[in-house]
Amino acid sequence: MLDFKQYDIAVARHHNNLDTIAAPILSWNFHHNYLDVSKKIYLDCDKLNVIAGTNKWSDYDWDFKNKLKEEVVIVTNAKLEIVFASHNLTKMNGYTEEEVLGKSPKMFQGTDSNRITSSEIRKAIQLQQPFEKTVLNYNKNGETYLCLIKGFPVFNSKGKLSHFIAFEKAA
């Protein structure tokens, strides 16, 4: 009979070095949901890294993987047209990435949105400065929700404004 001791040692070493904790799966639906979200986060990270690499973003050190677990990420070009929206946008406001691409983030605002807050955001964008504001936004079906937005200008390797990135979550 073959001796599997070396194999068992290698497998044990591998499992001891994993960053995840294994647990018995009681529901395959739960596991499928986890895998689906993990896949979407991976795809979003890949898209963001392509945008960053293609446009030669300088000095960005955002941990997209962890940000995407808790926050929606929206990227606009310098003209404020949305060029990327993370998969979890749909969960927050009902819109898909396809529905918002090419549009302005103003599409999420409405009649009851605070004009002063909007003006403060606009000023920060014009001055190419970071901002953090809570705004009243509208979801796809017209209902309002409070949204905490942390926005940052993104510059390329030549120091020229390339994009704006916003990390958003329901407040």
Q: What is the CATH number of the domain that holds 166?
A: 3.30.450.20
User: What's the CA gap between 145 and 137, in Å, rounded?
Assistant: 5
Residue 86 lies in a domain: yes
Query: In whole numbers, what is the pLDDT of the chain averaged over residues?
Result: 89
Burial class (CB in 10 A: 0-12, 13-18, 19+), 77: middle
Q: What is the pLDDT of residue 65?
A: 87
Residue 106 lies in a domain: yes
7: its two tokens: 């194999």
Q: What is the pLDDT of residue 25?
A: 57
Question: Considering its fold, how many domains does the chain have in total?
Answer: 1
List pLDDT tens digits, range 38-81: 899 999 999 999 999 999 998 777 888 889 999 999 999 999 99
Length of the chain: 171
Domain that holds residue 101: 28-170
Q: What is the pLDDT of residue 5?
A: 73
Residue 159 lies in a domain: yes
Residue 147 lies in a domain: yes
- Is the full-model pTM beyond 0.95? no
Low-confidence ranges of the chain (pLDDT < 70): 1-4, 15, 18-31
Residue 41 lies in a domain: yes
Q: What is the pLDDT of residue 60?
A: 77
Residue 120 lies in a domain: yes
Residue 1 lies in a domain: no
Residue 118's closest CA among 138, 101, 93, 98? 138
Q: What is the pLDDT of residue 62?
A: 83
Residue 20 lies in a domain: no
